Amino acid sequence: MSATPTMQALAQLVPQGARVLDLGCGDGSFLQYLQRERGCTGYGVEIDDANVLACVQRGINVLQLNLDDGLAIFEDNSFDMVLQINTLQHLRNTETMLRETARVGRMSVVSFPNFAHWPNRFSVLRGRMPVTRHLPYQWYDTPNIRVGTFKDFEVLAHKNRLHVVDAFGLREGQVIRSWPNLRASTAVFCLERG
């Protein structure tokens, strides 16, 4: 498996040898990359049957759970790093899950499609909801329950007493630090409890 530039950029936020919980881990490819390239250990959490099977086939420790039910099975500070890579926007209990993420992990990385990216703004100005590579669904069939912006998440993190260790945007795998709310298709935050 070759790593994408996005995978490499996100992996830089995960400490070498960290114990990781990857929420909404998909097919387990990112957790596998972290194990191989950064010496990490840990678990993935996934609800989709096909993705759980893909994780098992990759040798990834995976638990099949619905994240909307919370993380009660994990004790406080069970992990060095909790990942929510393109997961938060699919959850009904976004704020609760963000607090749970902070409870079970010393640090966390959260990423999500940035609705304030300029092509999305332009689409809304034309009277249409955006359909892009990062938001590839029509408004009526999207799995995204929520849309958010880089700036919106800064406010949410502050409200929940989370310290932003690092924040940047991604566009086509390239790190965007200048005007990320406007220029980045994906928002990325590295957080720790405040």
Task: Dump pLDDT digits (tens) for 122-148.
Answer: 776 677 666 667 666 666 676 666 778
Please write the tens of the pLDDT for every residue from 47-79. 999 999 999 999 999 999 999 888 999 999 999
Residue 151 has pLDDT above 50, yes or no: yes
What is the mean pLDDT of the segment spanning 163-188? 93
pLDDT, position 182: 87
CA 135-189-73 angle, 5° bins: 90
Please say whether the beta carbons of 187 and 21 come within 8 A. no
Instruction: Give me the domains of the chain, ranges plus CATH numbers.
Output: 5-193 (3.40.50.150)
Q: What percent of the chain has pLDDT over 90?
A: 65
Average pLDDT for 90-100: 88
- Predicted TM-score (pTM) of this structure: 0.88
| Distance, CA of 53 to CA of 182 (rounded, Å) | 38
Tell me the CA distances in angstroms from 101 to 20, 75, 184, one per residue in order. Answer: 11, 11, 24
Share of the chain above pLDDT 70, in %: 88
